[in-house]
A and B are shown apart, each in its own frame.
Chain A
């Protein structure tokens, strides 16, 4: 199969799930799209020059690593992101839980990453540590603090759900 076509098909299939994962990583639609686009661009740049045994899993690892110091790294490497930001081109098509989004914003990128890998990707501590490139002890600590913060926020603000479908 032509490598360009091959990547196009990979991107077509993976864009939506990667965007969902990025949303969990960032709790921000604009950042989620930036992260998705940059992740796919890095995959595309290497496509045909590198061998990926599991490209979908590798893309998530790329995304996780990007997200950990996302702002600092992307702003340094991508003039695109240093300029005025365009309106987020993604569309909100489902409901989100306000308490969760608000709570995630207060977490560190590492805590958000550990939680997303656990609750979206359903990974255990060991696999999360591999994806994040850190020790299992660090993951346990991030998960513990992150989860506690989510519960604390929900207690204070209630698990109210807001959002729209199709607007």
Chain B
């Protein structure tokens, strides 16, 4: 067995595989998952920080369940949320406390076009959501003006370019998104504005695909 024979063997190994035709989409999805996981981790750290400061801060945060929001917010409108997550077994979770903000949550870049976010409180324990949470982000200039987005779509999968992303996490570790693959439905953005204060009105009827190879979850309702 000569060096040349070993090298020839490696040459053949090197050229034996072809990537899947949808390699780019698969990679972009995993990029999105990693970004989401980073945000979730940051939210978890932020929440632990809030809890460590003490009950006063938690009380000021004003969450009904005492957990408090884990995101920085600017003076926001006070939307009424009827958004509900429905699992395959029929059980549901209502996102009653949703805040709208035009300030990037911790862990997200501030560069790029003005975006708007709607977030329910995020509490992470052991790398999982202790309570389900919902996350919406949209580029204001791309979603404003009473637009309805129908899924699936052929947007570029990079989160930075997509007009909007709807994401939800459940307590079993499942994380679902409008950009995960397997999604369907519509998101109507009735109003989206950051000037002078954050305003976001949504009508959602979506089945979101899992980013972690679990089941899809339905998220429906409105934010107004």
- Tell me whether B13 and A24 are in contact (CB under 8 A): yes
Chain B residues with CB under 8 Å of A150's CB are 1, 6
Find A20's partner among B7, B13, B34 (CB 8 Å cutoff): B13
Min C-beta distance of A109 to chain B, whole Å: 16
- Tell me whether A154 and B1 are in contact (CB under 8 A): yes
- Tell me whether A79 and B173 are in contact (CB under 8 A): yes
- Chain B, interface residues (CB within 8 Å), range: 35 or more
Chain A residues 133 to 166 lying within 8 A of chain B, measured CB to CB, are 147, 150-151, 154-155, 159, 161, 163
- Tell me whether B213 and A86 are in contact (CB under 8 A): yes
A42 interface contact, C-beta 8 A: yes
Find A15's partner among B5, B6, B19, B160 (CB 8 Å cutoff): B19
Chain B residues with CB under 8 Å of A100's CB are 6, 9-10, 13
Closest to B2 in A: A151
- Tell me whether B212 and A83 are in contact (CB under 8 A): yes
A64 interface contact, C-beta 8 A: no
Min C-beta distance of A113 to chain B, whole Å: 13
B26 interface contact, C-beta 8 A: yes
B60 interface contact, C-beta 8 A: no
Chain B residues with CB under 8 Å of A93's CB are 15-18
Min C-beta distance of B76 to chain A, whole Å: 27
Min C-beta distance of A22 to chain B, whole Å: 8
Q: How far is the CA of A91 from the CA of B20 in the complex (A)?
A: 7
- Tell me whether A80 and B7 are in contact (CB under 8 A): no
Min C-beta distance of A99 to chain B, whole Å: 8
Chain A residues with CB under 8 Å of B27's CB are 11, 15, 37, 40-41, 44
Q: How far is the CA of A115 from the CA of B10 in the complex (A)?
A: 9
Interface residue SS majority, chain A = helix
Min C-beta distance of A140 to chain B, whole Å: 16
Min C-beta distance of B37 to chain A, whole Å: 8
Closest to A122 in B: B7
Q: How far is the CA of A8 from the CA of B26 in the complex (A)?
A: 12
- Tell me whether A36 and B19 are in contact (CB under 8 A): yes
Chain B residues with CB under 8 Å of A96's CB are 12-13, 16
- In the complex, per-residue mask of B11-54: 1 if CB is within 8 Å of any chain A CB, else 0: 01111111110111011101101110010000000000000000
Closest to A49 in B: B109
Chain A residues with CB under 8 Å of B113's CB are none
Find A147's partner among B6, B16, B19 (CB 8 Å cutoff): B6
Chain A residues with CB under 8 Å of B14's CB are 20-21, 23-24, 120
Min C-beta distance of B13 to chain A, whole Å: 5
Q: From known contacts A49-B109, A80-B212, infer whether A90 and B12 are also in contact, taking CB-CB under 8 Å.
A: no
Q: Taking beta carbons and an 8 Å cutoff, which residues of B are in contact with A? A: 1, 5-7, 9-10, 12-20, 22-24, 26-28, 30-31, 33-35, 38, 109, 156, 158, 160-161, 173, 211-214
Q: Taking beta carbons and an 8 Å cutoff, which residues of A are in contact with B? A: 2-4, 7-8, 11-12, 15-16, 19-21, 23-24, 27, 29, 32-33, 36-38, 40-42, 44-45, 48-49, 78-80, 83-84, 86, 89-97, 99-101, 115-116, 119-120, 147, 150-151, 154-155, 159, 161, 163
